[in-house]
């Protein structure tokens, strides 16, 4: 018997049919004798609608608010109608939905009166997505004779007050999980909200978009689970985005390090922080498809050299801009890079990639598009004096670019991988604007014009497919 943490994403709980599929998956694992704890996302689309409701509340758009409230209610009602046979259970589940939606409207009214939303208010508003879905799913499961109990993760996940992207306070969280949740899981299957935490003084926070994965990993760690299973709507982690190259295939095995790079650089499968809580405990993670449960999915684990595969996957990040700081007077002037990055951080920008030419006369870095203007202004303000003295030129912003990342831990210790990547691009006339290699040596990132995206991904993906195929033939890299 194993103890399994299972997380079901938005599409996996997006309709009555999908939720029935979830119930079947859970029932089957229980029948196999496993001990389970479940984390669920909001029903697909609901988080976006709730964010929109905060905007509608701010602008006093009552009609839109009513429409949004109606759509969210109907989604949950439809699940209740379809999957709960008992009339009185149906009634009480609908009442729960109604009272949460009233609380949501009250919050919207409060925002409307103030005429402004805050990150704190926004977190309170989006929290309703998971609070609703978890209750309805728990009601469905118990109506179908599973012994479950609903919990709000905010009871256990204690975070800092960085609203909308909060980080857990690990010790407080561990104590809460061990005292409050661990004693329950032998007798019931907990159905827990994803996404939300709370500050030590009880204000609701969220752990960033897609944060339910991270929440599930935290529970998996502190409940000492044998495995974390992320149930989603694709068969597993893929060699590349199938929309860019239809030859994309599922990777049977990916290391913790590789999945970290993949998630950070654009693969949407997992929240980038998901492996943080489980990596030291070496808890395996599996990505599986709720709608194709016979597929084994992708196993994510600690073995680094699981295969001969050098290049495993290609990802891309769109909607980024590259900022270049350059100037003949920069050579030997210490601290310019440091001040630039501090100024960017103060402007609220997350830097995705940094690269410096060895001449020290320029360096460039990449931020998401909407931040580019603010970062340029902040950096120019910071470097005002150097710019006035012509030591530094004004900050150059380049748009319509993409970051491509080539991932594979076999690159470590395999010379010539970067050479192969860039000579291939050169041979295909794809111009590389900047390059960076992480110190983990498990990925290489570079920047190209957006118009070259599909071509570059397809070319590089051929390299990945080649090595993945070698693994398959040799029986390497597959845990099964």
Nearer to ligand ASP among residue 212 and residue 239 (C-beta): 212
Q: Which two tokens stand for residue 94?
A: 């609908």
Give min distance, CB of 212 to ligand ASP, in A.
Answer: 3
Give the C-alpha separation, 135 to 42, whole Å: 11
Nearer to Mg ion among residue 210 and residue 266 (C-beta): 210
Give min distance, CB of 269 to Mg ion, in A.
Answer: 8
Q: Helix or strand or coil: residue 392?
A: coil
Per-residue CA distances from 79 to 20, 82, 129, 319, 376 (Å): 9, 5, 14, 36, 48
190 binds, among Mg ion, ligand ASP, none (CB under 5 to 8 A by kind): none
Nearer to ligand ASP among residue 61 and residue 165 (C-beta): 165
Q: Helix or strand or coil: residue 115?
A: coil
Q: Helix or strand or coil: residue 55?
A: helix
Give the C-alpha separation, 24 to 18, whole Å: 10
209 binds, among Mg ion, ligand ASP, none (CB under 5 to 8 A by kind): ligand ASP
Nearer to Mg ion among residue 12 and residue 362 (C-beta): 12
Q: Can you give the three-state secondary structure of 11-27, one letter per residue?
A: CCCCCHHHHHHHHHHHH
Is 209 in contact with 194 (CB distance < 8 Å)?
no
Nearer to Mg ion among residue 167 and residue 441 (C-beta): 167
Give the C-alpha separation, 16 to 456, whole Å: 40
Is 278 in contact with 257 (CB distance < 8 Å)?
no
The dihedral region occupied by 236, where left means phi > 0, alpha psi between -120 and 50, and beta the remainder, is left
Give min distance, CB of 43 to ligand ASP, in A.
Answer: 9
Nearer to ligand ASP among residue 11 and residue 340 (C-beta): 11
**DSSP label at 181?**
I
Give min distance, CB of 193 to Mg ion, in A.
Answer: 14
Give min distance, CB of 270 to Mg ion, in A.
Answer: 7
Nearer to ligand ASP among residue 16 and residue 39 (C-beta): 39
Residues that bind ligand ASP (CB under 6 A): 9-10, 41-42, 47, 129, 194-195, 209-212
Give the C-alpha separation, 306 to 469, whole Å: 14
Residues that bind Mg ion (CB under 5 A): 9, 210
Give min distance, CB of 193 to ligand ASP, in A.
Answer: 9
Give min distance, CB of 346 to ligand ASP, in A.
Answer: 26
On the 0-12 / 13-18 / 19+ scale of CB atoms within 10 A, 296 is middle
Q: Helix or strand or coil: residue 295?
A: coil
47 binds, among Mg ion, ligand ASP, none (CB under 5 to 8 A by kind): ligand ASP
Give the C-alpha separation, 79 to 140, whole Å: 8
**DSSP label at 221?**
H
236 binds, among Mg ion, ligand ASP, none (CB under 5 to 8 A by kind): none
Q: How far apart are the first and last CA of the chain?
A: 19
Nearer to ligand ASP among residue 43 and residue 322 (C-beta): 43
142 binds, among Mg ion, ligand ASP, none (CB under 5 to 8 A by kind): none
Give min distance, CB of 102 to ligand ASP, in A.
Answer: 21
129 binds, among Mg ion, ligand ASP, none (CB under 5 to 8 A by kind): ligand ASP
């Amino acid at each position: 018997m194993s103890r399994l943490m299972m997380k079901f994403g938005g599409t996996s709980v997006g309709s009555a049919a999908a939720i029935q599929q979830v119930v079947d998956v859970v029932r089957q694992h229980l029948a196999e004798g496993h001990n389970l704890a479940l984390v669920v996302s909001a029903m697909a689309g609901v988080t976006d609608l709730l964010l929109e409701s905060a905007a509608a509340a701010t602008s006093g758009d009552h009609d839109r608010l009513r429409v949004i409230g109606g759509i969210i209610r109907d989604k949950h009602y439809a699940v209740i109608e379809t999957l709960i046979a008992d009339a009185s259970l149906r009634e009480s589940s609908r009442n729960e939905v109604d009272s949460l939606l009233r609380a949501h409207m009250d919050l919207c009214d409060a925002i409307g009166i103030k005429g402004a939303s805050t990150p704190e208010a926004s977190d309170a508003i989006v929290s309703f997505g998971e609070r609703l879905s978890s209750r309805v799913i728990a009601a469905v499961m118990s109506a179908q004779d599973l012994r479950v109990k609903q919990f709000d993760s905010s009871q256990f996940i204690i975070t800092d007050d960085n609203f909308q992207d909060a980080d857990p306070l690990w010790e407080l969280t561990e104590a809460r999980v061990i005292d409050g949740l661990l004693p329950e899981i032998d007798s019931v299957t907990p159905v827990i909200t994803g996404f939300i935490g709370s500050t030590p003084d009880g204000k609701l926070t969220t752990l960033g978009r897609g944060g339910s994965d991270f929440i599930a990993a935290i529970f998996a760690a502190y409940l000492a689970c044998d495995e974390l299973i992320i149930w989603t709507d694709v068969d597993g982690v893929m060699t590349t985005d199938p929309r860019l190259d239809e030859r994309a295939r599922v990777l049977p095995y990916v290391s913790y390090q590789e999945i970290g790079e993949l998630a950070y650089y654009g693969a949407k499968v997992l929240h980038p922080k998901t492996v943080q809580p489980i990596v030291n405990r070496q808890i395996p993670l599996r990505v599986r498809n709720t709608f194709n449960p016979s597929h084994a999915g992708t196993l994510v684990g600690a073995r680094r050299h699981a295969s001969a595969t050098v290049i495993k996957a290609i990802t891309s990040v769109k909607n980024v801009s590259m900022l270049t700081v350059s100037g003949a007077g920069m050579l030997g002037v210490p601290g310019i890079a440091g001040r630039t990055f501090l100024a960017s951080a103060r402007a609220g920008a997350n830097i995705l990639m940094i690269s410096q030419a060895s001449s020290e006369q320029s360096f460039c870095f990449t931020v998401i598009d909407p931040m580019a203007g603010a970062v340029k202004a902040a950096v120019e303000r910071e470097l005002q004096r150097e710019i006035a003295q012509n030591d530094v030129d004004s900050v150059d912003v380049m748009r319509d670019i993409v970051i491509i990342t080539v991932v594979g831990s076999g690159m470590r210790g395999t010379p010539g991988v970067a050479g192969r990547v860039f000579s291939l691009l050169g041979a295909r006339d794809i111009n590389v604007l900047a390059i960076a290699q992480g110190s983990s040596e498990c990925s290489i990132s570079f920047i190209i014009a957006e118009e070259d995206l599909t071509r570059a991904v397809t070319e590089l993906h051929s390299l990945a497919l080649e090595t993945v195929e070698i693994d398959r033939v040799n029986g390497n890299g597959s845990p099964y």
